[in-house]
Amino acid sequence: MLIGRGFSLHKYCYICIYLYNIIGVLYKMTRIAKDIIAGNDFIVNVFDAKTHDLKDNTQLYEAFESGWPVVIKNLTIPQLDYDYYDDLPDWTIPDNKWIMPWYNSHIKKRERMRSERNWTEEQIDLFHKKHKQSNNGWNEVFDMLFPRYKTKERMLSHRYNTLVENKLHLDELDEQHTGKEQQIRMFVQLDKKRPRVLSFGPDLERMYYDYKDEFKLEELDKNDVHKFITDMRNRCVWNEQKWDQFHHPLHYITFNPGDIWFFNAQWITHQIVFGTKLQCFEADILNESLLKPELCMVERIKKL
Cα within 13 Å of Cα(267), Cβ side: 23
Rounded least distance, CB 170 to Fe ion, Å: 7
Sign (positive or negative) of CA dihedral 226, 298, 201, 278: negative
Nearer to Fe ion, 258 or 275 (CB): 275
142 within 8 A of 281, measured Cβ to Cβ: yes
3-state secondary structure of 280: strand
Q: How many CB atoms lie within 10 A of CB 282?
A: 21
Rounded least distance, CB 77 to Fe ion, Å: 21
Rounded least distance, CB 169 to Fe ion, Å: 6
Instruction: Report the alpha-carbon distance of residue 287 to residue 304 in Å, rounded.
Output: 19
Rounded least distance, CB 185 to Fe ion, Å: 8
Nearer to Fe ion, 127 or 187 (CB): 187
For the segment 68-127, give every residue that binds Fe ion (CB under 5 A).
none
Cα within 13 Å of Cα(14), Cβ side: 5
Nearer to Fe ion, 236 or 265 (CB): 265
Rounded least distance, CB 298 to Fe ion, Å: 20
For the segment 167-196, give every residue that binds Fe ion (CB under 5 A).
171
Give the x-and-dash track for 210-249 against Fe ion (CB under 5 A): ----------------------------------------
Q: Which stretch binds Fe ion (CB under 5 A): 25-33, 48-56, 164-172, 182-190?
A: 164-172
Rounded least distance, CB 122 to Fe ion, Å: 33
The closest alpha carbon to 31, from 261, 244, 201, belongs to 261
For the segment 261-290, give every residue that binds Fe ion (CB under 5 A).
265
Nearer to Fe ion, 188 or 265 (CB): 265
Give the x-and-dash track for 246-265 against Fe ion (CB under 5 A): -------------------x
Instruction: Report the alpha-carbon distance of residue 220 to residue 222 in Å, rounded.
Output: 6
The residue sitting closest to Fe ion, measured at its beta carbon, is 171
Helix-strand-coil split of the chain, %, nearest 5: 35, 20, 40
- Total chain residues near Fe ion (CB under 5 A): 2
Beta-strand runs (E) in 98-213: 151-159, 163-164, 181-189, 196-203
Rounded least distance, CB 58 to Fe ion, Å: 27
Q: How many CB atoms lie within 10 A of CB 50?
A: 8
Which residues in this chain contact Fe ion in the complex, by CB under 5 A? 171, 265
